[in-house]
Amino acid sequence: MTNPMPQEYYDLLEEIQAVDFVLVELTLYLDTHPQDYETIQQFNQYSQYTKQLKQQYEQLYGPLMEFGMSYSSYPWKWDNAPWPWQV
């Protein structure tokens, strides 16, 4: 992994953080408003969108999740820096 990370890394990460944040907000809202059909539709749209963004991210910078939630290229990249607190 390059050191330091390029600007494009920060931009894509920020995009993912923003979309995933909307999903966190919608999740907590739906936990107390389980009948809100429109919000569930919005939730599913963002859910699909974040999967696309993460696929793009993982091809460039390696897996975001472990235990089989992300595909692995060769060699195994999970251990590669940077870790979230380092960037």
CB of 40 to another protein, least distance (A): 11
HSE-CB at 5 with a 13 A cutoff on CA atoms is 17
Rounded (10°) CA dihedral 40, 46, 49, 53: -140
Which one of 3, 7, 31, 74 is in contact with another protein (CB under 8 A)? 31
Q: What is the three-class DSSP state of 6?
A: coil
74 binds another protein (CB under 8 A): no
User: How many residues bind another protein, per CB under 8 A?
Assistant: 35
Q: What is d(CA 19, CA 66) in angstroms, rounded to the nearest whole number?
A: 20
Q: Which of 5, 9, 22, 47 binds another protein (CB under 8 A)?
A: 22
* Residues near another protein (CB under 8 A): 10, 13-22, 24-29, 31-33, 36, 38-39, 46, 62-67, 69, 78, 83-85
